[in-house]
């Protein structure tokens, strides 16, 4: 009998302990279940600025809560509600208990808020602070600063911050070459030729394949009357990117003729045409042939090329060569064809961006579409 009483007492004790443990285990779950609906309601609803401010002032530094605040700020920025995004991120930074790792994340988000709002001066302050403290996002901050300086056309500052980024990422070197070219163009216009020369040499040190630097070097030396130096720079374009050779044909011919090296010019053009044929090269060769052998030989040369590579530009050149030797109705027909071909040439896309596909009629060293540097090139050597 006594044993049965002990067993009954133990049974009641086990039931009581189980009940108490169950009650204690429910308390944290209740806190979590109440926190989650509030976050969801916040994301999906339309909280007032006063509510947002109160939420940020009473910020819980638990990682889950901080992630929710960051996600909410990004959501507001994506929706164009930049004041609210800024309010959240600025309020988080004002919290002295914010962990340093999270503080770096919030600074980057705040800088992006300012950039989206066009407040470049305020974005620059935040980004410069991040760069000076050399935290986890310092490289990203440098890229944002470069973008700001590009838009402000502050090439000295862009070059300075870009050189700091270069120590971390060599891929930025071609962009720095473009900054040097921008400064060199400005100095050349101001007749500060020696300073421009130094910058162009610096551009080629950053990027040995920088076509723009060679082109600018050649034209600067032509302006100064140093024909050998100009020719050396312009010939380099063929090695850097043969598609751009058409852009310097006039300057090349001017240098060769100034130096009395017409035979060298013919040899250079023939080699280039065999390596990378283009309409502009063939038309240039046809012009030289016309000087030496007459219109008939030049026309036959062009016609042979056209059989293999038919193009509007080649047809237009044949029409030009034969207009002066025709009369009557034939001349009228040629004039009509000439008008049509010239209209087609004026409407064709001459360049395209290899990064975003933008197709301008003029050469841009920075794409107006994707803002990429040196991404625009002639359309297949302009063989259209």
169-258 and 50-168 share a CATH fold? yes
Question: Burial level of 345, CB count in 10 A (0-12/13-18/19+)?
Answer: middle
Query: Looking at 39-48, 110-119, 307-316, 323-332, which range is the least confident one?
Result: 39-48
Q: What is the pLDDT of residues 222-235, one digit of tens each?
A: 999 999 999 999 99
What's residue 11's pLDDT? 52
Task: Answer whether residue 3 shows pLDDT above 70.
Answer: no
Q: What is the pLDDT of residues 7-43, one digit of tens each?
A: 555 555 555 555 555 555 554 444 443 343 454 445 4
Query: Looking at 226-230, 261-265, 270-274, 283-287, which range is the least confident one?
Result: 283-287
- Tell me how far apart the 2 most distant CA atoms of the chain are, in Å: 138
Task: Parse the chain into domains and list their residue ranges.
Answer: 50-168, 169-258, 277-347, 348-384
Highest mean pLDDT among 27-36, 206-215, 321-330: 206-215
Q: What is the pLDDT of residues 136-159, one digit of tens each?
A: 999 999 999 999 999 999 999 999
At 287, the pLDDT band (50, 70, 90 cuts) reads confident
CB 180 within 8 A of CB 200: yes
Picking from 160, 87, 156, 100, the residue whose alpha carbon sits closest to that of residue 130 is 100
For domain 50-168, the CATH superfamily is: Tetratricopeptide repeat domain (1.25.40.10)
Write down the mean pLDDT value for the chain. Answer: 81
Q: Is 255 annotated as a binding residue?
A: no
Please give the average per-residue pLDDT across 303-311, as a whole number: 71
Q: What is the pLDDT of residues 102-146, one digit of tens each?
A: 899 999 999 999 999 999 999 999 999 999 999 999 999 999 999
Dist. CA 193–CA 183, nearest whole Å? 11
The CA–CA distances, whole Å, from 228 to 195, 245, 258 equal: 20, 18, 10
CATH node for 169-258: 1.25.40.10
Q: What percent of the chain has pLDDT over 70?
A: 72
Angle at 289 between CA 283 and CA 295, to 5 degrees: 90
Q: What is the pLDDT of residues 162-199, one digit of tens each?
A: 999 999 999 999 999 999 999 999 999 999 999 999 99
Q: Is 273 annotated as a binding residue?
A: no
Q: Crossing angle of helices 138-151/100-116, nearest 10°? A: 20
Highest mean pLDDT among 38-52, 138-152, 308-322: 138-152
| Backbone φ and ψ of 352, nearest 5° | -150, 150
What's residue 257's pLDDT? 93
What's residue 279's pLDDT? 79
């Amino acid at each position: 009998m006594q044993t049965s009483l002990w067993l009954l007492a133990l049974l009641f004790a086990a039931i009581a302990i189980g009940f108490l443990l169950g009650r204690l285990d429910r308390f944290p779950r209740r806190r979590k279940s109440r926190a989650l609906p509030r976050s969801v309601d916040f994301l999906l609803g339309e909280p007032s600025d006063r509510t947002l401010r109160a939420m940020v002032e009473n910020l819980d530094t638990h990682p889950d809560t901080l992630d929710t605040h960051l996600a909410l700020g990004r959501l507001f920025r994506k929706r164009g509600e930049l004041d609210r995004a800024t309010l959240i991120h600025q309020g988080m930074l004002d919290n002295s208990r914010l962990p340093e790792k999270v503080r770096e994340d919030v600074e980057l988000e705040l800088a992006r808020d300012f950039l989206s709002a066009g407040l470049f001066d305020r974005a620059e302050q935040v980004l410069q602070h991040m760069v000076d403290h050399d935290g986890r996002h310092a490289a990203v901050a440098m890229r944002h600063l470069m973008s700001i300086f590009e838009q402000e056309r502050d090439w000295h500052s862009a070059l300075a911050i870009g050189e700091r980024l270069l120590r971390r990422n060599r891929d930025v070197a071609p962009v720095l070459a473009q900054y040097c070219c921008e400064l060199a163009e400005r100095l050349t216009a101001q007749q500060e030729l020696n300073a421009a020369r130094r910058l162009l040499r610096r551009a080629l040190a950053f990027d040995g394949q920088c076509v723009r630097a060679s082109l600018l070097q050649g034209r600067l030396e032509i302006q100064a009357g140093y024909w050998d130096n100009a020719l050396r720079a312009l010939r380099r374009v063929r090695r850097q990117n043969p598609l751009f050779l058409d852009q310097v044909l006039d300057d090349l011919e001017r240098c060769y003729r100034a130096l009395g090296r017409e035979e060298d010019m013919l040899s250079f053009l023939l080699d280039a045409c065999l390596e990378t044929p283009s309409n502009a090269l063939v038309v240039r060769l046809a012009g030289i042939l016309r000087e030496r052998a007459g219109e008939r030989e030049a026309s036959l040369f062009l016609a042979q090329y056209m059989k293999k590579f038919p193009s509007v530009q080649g047809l237009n050149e044949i029409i030009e060569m034969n207009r002066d030797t025709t009369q009557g109705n034939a001349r009228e027909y040629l004039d009509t064809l000439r008008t049509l071909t010239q209209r087609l040439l004026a409407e064709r896309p001459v360049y395209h961006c290899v990064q975003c596909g933008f197709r301008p009629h003029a050469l841009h060293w920075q794409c107006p579409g994707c803002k990429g540097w040196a991404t625009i090139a002639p359309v297949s050597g302009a063989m259209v």
